[in-house]
């Protein structure tokens, strides 16, 4: 652990954190670009870095992008990322009243505090959860994977059948390659490049990068881009401290709820601010101000959004199960660096993991400093034409896919995934269940095969209460979701 802390405080690690945050803010501040896209594009860049430094930089991109969307949401009422929708409601209303600097300060301070707390919880809770997971056998892992897939299917607002089909499709794609039991090739269609399986990173780049480049390019052809930037008055240090002190309880509640929701699969930083904003409004004495420039609404949304980022990395590192779309891309990055997310990660690569924890805390200290002293200047990124952004993303999508194995085959896989993403969108089938199924597919199959030999009958499950509990919980969630949807209830999600 001490060695990891030392590595996380090295000058190169600090530089990786700062560069990651700056790049992340750029991706977050430009509408259409997302944290997931930024991570996927920059995964190949980390090949040139030490593993710990690469992880820290990607953590900076993730956190910076989620925060960066708040800058344009406050100044221009344009959420840079879906996570900043609530920020636009409250922050831009404050900006129109001449309080843009105060709104930016509240946003930065809330994100900084929420992110720092999530970083310390990540440092404390992840190893603890991983140590518990070491006692898991194949039945427990199998039940946990099914539980994760069920949560994704029931939490998304799209039709339940479509969500289930997407998860099944992801599991089917994961079967391409080599049979883990017999060692024979399957579904490779004569392509030797597929014997090791379909490249997850190439697919993620197609899903989240190239498809977005096409959409941004189309937007450049069909609409104009606004570049008007208004900052309002300055001198808000005292007002910022006073506003935060008066809302310390709100800051704590937002952080706590954001952490909890981040640990659950499918509830990413895009959904969390809506949930915490609605809860705070329900019990607030100034409920009538929500949506019209409420400082309380802004603080709870921003703190929960930042805390969700750290929370989503806890199940990823401890169990190998991503808590959000951006965290899912982390799996590909870790795999390419020879790290397998899960409890053994702390046994085999403790130095890299603890260096990442320290770097993640540094990331949010950097965001806090940048947000308090330089946030408004990032709004000039909106002057970049959409056509330039689309070209940049498309070019790096191709380069990123090629750099994985230095072969054009991965580029074709990426383009195929891009086409598939548009087909799924046309059918209103979400991407997230497919991505989770793809990532967990091989682990699901391996544990299923072993579990069949370990559990030969109901009597063998008596000593496995965790597996039974997760299985029953999965069935209960699925049943409740079916009943509520038949009654017309739609969950709030992506």
Domain ranges of the chain: 2-486
The whole-number pLDDT of residue 117 equals 92
Q: What is the rounded average pLDDT of the residues 63-76?
A: 84
pLDDT tens profile 145-185? 888 788 778 877 778 888 899 989 989 988 888 877 777 78
Of 17-21, 120-124, 348-352, 397-401, the range with the highest mean pLDDT is 17-21
Quick check: 72 and 33 in contact, CB under 8 A? no
CA gap 403, 385 in Å, rounded: 27
DSSP state of 309: H
Q: How many CA atoms lie within 13 A of 237 on its CB side?
A: 2
Asked whether residue 334 carries a pLDDT value surpassing 70, the answer given is yes
Residue 266 has pLDDT above 60, yes or no: no
pLDDT digits 0-9 by tens, 298-320 = 998 899 999 988 888 888 888 77
- Range of 128-132, 255-259, 325-329 with top mean pLDDT: 255-259
pLDDT for the residue numbered 492 = 45
Q: How far apart are CA 327 and CA 315, in angstroms?
A: 10
Residue 227 pLDDT > 50: no
How many Cβ atoms from other residues are within 10 Å of residue 463's Cβ? 8
State the DSSP string of 428-486.
Answer: T--SHHHHHHHHHHHHHHHHHHHHHHH--SGGGGTT-HHHHHHHHHHHHHHHHHHHHHH
Average pLDDT, the chain: 81
CA dist., res. 73 & res. 84, Å (int)? 6
């Amino acid at each position: 652990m001490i060695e990891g802390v030392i590595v996380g405080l090295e000058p190169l690690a600090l530089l990786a954190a700062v560069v990651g945050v700056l790049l992340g803010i750029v991706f977050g501040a430009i509408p259409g670009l997302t944290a997931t896209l930024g991570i996927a594009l920059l995964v190949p860049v980390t090949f040139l870095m030490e593993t710990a430094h690469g992880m820290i930089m990607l953590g900076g991109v993730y956190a910076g992008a989620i925060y960066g969307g708040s800058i344009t949401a406050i100044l221009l009422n344009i959420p840079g990322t879906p996570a900043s929708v609530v920020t636009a409601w409250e922050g831009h209303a404050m900006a129109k009243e001449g309080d843009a600097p105060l709104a930016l300060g509240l946003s930065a301070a809330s994100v900084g505090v929420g992110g720092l707390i999530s970083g310390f919880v990540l440092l404390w809770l992840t190893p603890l959860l991983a140590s518990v997971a070491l006692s898991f056998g194949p039945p427990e892992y199998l039940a946990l994977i099914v539980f994760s897939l069920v949560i994704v299917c029931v939490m998304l607002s799209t039709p339940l059948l479509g969500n289930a089909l997407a998860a099944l499709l992801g599991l089917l794609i994961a079967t391409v390659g080599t049979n883990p039991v017999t060692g024979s090739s399957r579904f490779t269609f004569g392509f030797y490049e597929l014997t090791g399986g379909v490249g997850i990173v190439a697919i993620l780049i197609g899903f989240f990068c190239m498809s977005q480049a096409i959409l941004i390019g189309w937007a450049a052809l069909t609409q104009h881009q606004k570049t008007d930037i208004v900052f309002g008055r300055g001198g808000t240090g005292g007002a910022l401290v006073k506003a935060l002190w008066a809302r310390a309880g709100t800051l704590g509640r937002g952080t706590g709820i954001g952490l909890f929701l981040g640990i659950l699969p499918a509830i990413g930083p895009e959904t969390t601010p809506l949930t915490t904003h609605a809860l705070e409004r329900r019990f607030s004495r100034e409920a009538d101000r929500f949506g019209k420039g409420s400082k309380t609404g802004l603080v709870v949304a921003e703190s929960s959004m930042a805390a969700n980022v750290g929370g989503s990395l806890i199940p990823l590192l401890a169990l190998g199960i991503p808590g959000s779309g951006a965290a899912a891309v982390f799996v590909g990055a870790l795999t390419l660096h020879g790290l397998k997310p899960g409890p053994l990660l702390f046994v085999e690569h403790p130095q890299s993991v603890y260096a990442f924890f320290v770097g993640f805390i540094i990331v949010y200290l950097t965001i806090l400093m940048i947000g308090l002293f330089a946030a408004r200047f990032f709004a000039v990124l909106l002057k970049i034409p959409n056509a330039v952004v689309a070209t940049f993303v498309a070019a790096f999508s191709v380069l990123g896919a090629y750099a994985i194995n230095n072969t054009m085959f991965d580029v074709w896989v990426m383009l195929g995934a891009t086409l598939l993403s548009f087909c799924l969108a046309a059918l209103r089938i979400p991407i997230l269940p497919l991505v989770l199924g793809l990532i967990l597919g091989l682990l699901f199959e391996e544990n299923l095969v072993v579990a069949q030999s370990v559990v030969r009958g109901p009597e063998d499950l008596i000593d496995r209460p965790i597996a039974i509990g997760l299985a029953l919980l999965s069935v209960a969630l699925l049943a409740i979701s079916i009943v509520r949807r038949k009654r017309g209830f739609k969950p709030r999600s992506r």
